[in-house]
Structure 1
């Protein structure tokens, strides 16, 4: 099959003629061209008759105008390509035909002169108006104006188009009066202006909706952060007050014991009768308060005393104590969040990290046993059975650990 196009070996572009190849070379500096049997695509828009030479060009046309229907006229316009330079006359061998044949003549295409005059009356240059009429298929004044709007940034928009002389066919279109031309031009400008304003308004509405949405999300996030911060501060204040109350009670008990011891050493009676009559129930209350940390009535009190004992036993190393509390809090948090995961409920006692952080400290393992952990397999593991998980105890353990970590008065007495 004879070649019907020239293909650029550098970028793959298909070109209809040697002239186009020369223009392509000047624009891109590509010089590797070869004859190809692949025809240049010719997709013609059924709405405005604009020819498109590639799928990309048709997609851009659809995006700009909304026209989606195209007719493939590639086979109708395909013809063998001439590989001779356009300005050099081609002479045929006298022995072959006996006559000379010049290169195909290129002329300005015939367009509707009436519409051309109307476009010129609207202020468009003749070359631009002729190009617009030619590439819009001489369909109408509106189609030509739309073509100019779409291609006003093309580098060759003001160059006079050229077509082969034998394909130049001039259509006839009815003329418009000067008044109709002016009205039509004004109508087209008004329509373009309204379309642009509507698009700007639509984009502004979209931007405003996005700003409102983002603003609401930021306000909600800030509100939730403030609520959580208030809850955290209230919890810390409550824990500090409770710890201070327990510390004051211990001081009072210690003062009472010292007072009683001094009276005993001085040989004085234990209490004044009048004082004993006024406070008959004080010894009972004191006995209850003294026995609270070791009485097995509630797990919470036992866990608090266990943590206090751990801190007092290792008070020379605050960093180690705080790390132990944080590790225990992590264990309790993992159990609370993932009660069905056995890996969070089973701990090897010989694990080096566990020993360094919790196991080697007096009271660490006892605290975990208070939370429900049991020694299994000969004391090699600490294990919390799934059916023995008590959410209230786990939550209480977390509360006591938080208090031990954040309360500066925890365990000082």
Structure 2
């Protein structure tokens, strides 16, 4: 049987003619072709008449349009293939006509079309190449005529290729429409409706993507907030645990000091040491509180803590005033530690109304500043911290004690 197609040995594609094989070689750089007895399929869609050359083309057409019925016309279009290559036109400038005369090949250009009609059709959703082709072959008469041409040639394989015409060619006459005016209007309406639905679908898709992005960002923000709250809760638990440990150590120190004082008193009175094996009756909290003796803090940090505890206990009915005093003292200590060379931060006028209201009138406020290194000068009118007596370590300890007093809700309870 004679060959009816050319098969590409590199990809297996079936081609109808030598021209198609040349185009395929230019696009894919494949060079291995052989004659084949297998015909190129010609599956024609029953709904719209579009030809499909392979099962893959028909599947794509079905997916795109929903058409599923195809008529196999392969046998009708199958014919022996001609292996004679056509003359290349790009390299031929003069062609012999047989009578000694020659004609020069004309330059091919994109035809001119009505720009207003072109813009109108592009706004309807048609590609530029299809629009120019339709306007050119419909005679640039109107948008309706171009739409009518698109409807009639929608299944053309080259409908979306840019048309080229000789420079000297004239515009082709407008073909007569095979549809009635009512059918043309209906087709136009269908095309407009199709373009509108396509735009609506694109907008809906964009909106869905934006909504997904908003949901994702919202979830990330909620997760970040949850993590921050968990970290804050853990920090507060750790702070409370540290405060309890601190209170426990303070009570243990007081108990040990009481035991030492008691043993010292027994020794001075000539009494024997107390037998630890003897079980003592438990004293009531009221009696323990009455019998407890004040213990003088050993280190400067403990003295500062005791000073702040005394200030809070003396003004326990006014938490706002106590907190204001603590914050003011923290500001003084922080300013001197940060700018030790600035004299204005190391000198405080005791008669200042704001200072007296916040710190001066509260028992323990001026004592705390003295523990930081401040001294009274000029007859007690000023509190002054000499530059050579600035101790950054002491100021840092003061800041730590003040932060603990401000943030610890149980500070000064015991």
- The bucket for the TM-score relative to the shorter chain is 0.3 to 0.5
TM-score if structure 1 supplies the norm length?
0.44
Give the structure with higher Rg (CA): 2
